[in-house]
């Protein structure tokens, strides 16, 4: 059957443009046959049809995913970013990272993709990476430069692993040195701040400090702790950062302050029924008695007690924050029980130490010795 005769009056029309007898224009997608209405304005219909045809041509010119995965076309950083996002999702699913870490990784990846998205992965040089890091340093953001360098190392290691690069361009960049600007918390400072908090502030402020010093745990983990986490004579902690599983005997005592974990936990329990050791005792805004304290509140109340106690920190450095209690705990426990004990308590375990303190049940819990 012969094909439909072409209307010569429409020989200059954009491809795929149609017009009904009533003057209504439409465009037909050649890839799936779907028809899209364009109205009765001829000039607007022509312009939209041309634009749509160009879009279809661009899509057809893009390399297929299978070709990109096989490396048969020149891959861009945008292609690498797409694969690395899948890697982030896998790590999150396997509990290798937590949600906050995954979000931070995605944000950093987006920042790099904005800069190098269209650049071929194989053409990104060490100078490119060094220039990007230098911009952060020149802006006084040494900590950001340090974390970005570490992240870029991992991204390009992934590119090397899948065969998209022979070497990692970030590996030979200069490591970023960050000068610690926060003052270290001494035991004398701790005692002064604790004394002020115990005498002048809500009981939870001193309780938070005590829990932090005895357990060595982070702020977010402290606020999540409660009676439910104690069983068989241990406090069971799944750390929110990194997912380390640490079981701490409630009988451990830090001799330099003469506090045991069981005594600190007992002090946290009061007339208010709560699932959390650190909780509200009265209505505050939307919070009700028994509700957990926000992590930021823990930091702010510690800072208030620190300032009222007259602890200002070393010259040229910022005053110590609540997080410095974790560092103090590590030093004090190291002095009393040794470095391996302190690392086990904090969840910083080497392969040898992990084997030494691994729970006999063979699971992922590391039991701190009593």
Let me know the angle formed at the C-alpha of 249 by 296 and 206, rounded to the nearest 5 degrees: 35
β-pairing, 245-249 with 253-254? unpaired
Alpha helix ranges (H) inside the chain: 42-61, 65-69, 77-93, 99-116, 126-138, 142-161, 187-200, 203-215, 219-224, 261-268, 295-308, 324-337, 339-346, 351-357
Asked whether the beta carbons of 306 and 201 are under 8 A apart, the reply is: no
CA 136 – CA 157 distance, rounded (Å): 22
CA distance 74 to 80: 11
Quick one: how many helices (H) and strands (E) in the chain?
14, 9
Catalytic residues: 218, 241, 323, 326, 348, 357
Distance CA 226, CA 231 (A): 11
């Amino acid at each position: 059957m012969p094909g439909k005769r072409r209307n010569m009056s429409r020989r200059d029309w954009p491809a795929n443009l149609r017009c009904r007898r009533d003057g209504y224009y439409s465009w037909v997608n050649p890839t799936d046959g779907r028809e899209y209405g364009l109205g009765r304005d001829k000039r607007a219909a022509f312009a939209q049809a041309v634009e749509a045809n160009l879009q279809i041509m661009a899509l057809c010119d893009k390399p297929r995913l299978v070709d990109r995965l096989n490396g048969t076309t020149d891959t861009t950083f945008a292609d690498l970013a797409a694969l690395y996002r899948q890697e982030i999702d896998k790590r999150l699913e396997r509990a290798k990272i937590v949600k906050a870490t995954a979000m931070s990784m995605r944000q950093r990846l987006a920042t790099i993709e904005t800069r190098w998205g269209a650049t071929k992965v194989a053409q990104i040089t060490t100078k490119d990476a060094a220039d990007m890091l230098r911009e952060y340093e020149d802006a006084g953001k040494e900590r950001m430069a340090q974390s970005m360098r570490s992240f870029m190392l991992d991204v390009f290691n992934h590119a090397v692993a899948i065969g998209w690069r022979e070497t990692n361009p970030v590996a030979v960049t200069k490591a970023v040195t960050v000068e610690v600007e926060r003052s270290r918390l001494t035991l004398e400072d701790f005692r002064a701040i604790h004394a002020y908090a115990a005498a002048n502030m809500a009981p939870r402020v001193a309780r938070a400090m005590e829990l932090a010093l005895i357990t060595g745990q982070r702020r977010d983990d402290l606020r999540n702790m409660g009676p439910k986490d104690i069983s068989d004579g241990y406090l069971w902690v799944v750390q929110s950062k990194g997912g380390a599983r640490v079981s701490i005997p409630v009988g451990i005592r830090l001799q330099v302050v003469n506090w045991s974990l069981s005594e600190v936990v007992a002090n946290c329990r009061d007339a208010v029924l709560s699932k959390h050791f650190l909780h509200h005792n009265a209505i505050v805004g939307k919070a009700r008695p028994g509700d957990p304290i926000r992590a930021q509140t823990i930091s702010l109340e510690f800072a208030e007690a620190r300032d009222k106690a007259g602890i200002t920190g070393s010259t040229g450095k910022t005053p110590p924050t609540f997080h410095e209690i974790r560092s103090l705990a590590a030093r004090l426990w190291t002095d009393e029980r040794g470095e391996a004990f302190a690392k086990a308590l904090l969840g910083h375990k080497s392969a040898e130490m992990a084997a030494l303190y691994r729970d006999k049940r063979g699971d992922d819990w590391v039991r701190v010795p009593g």
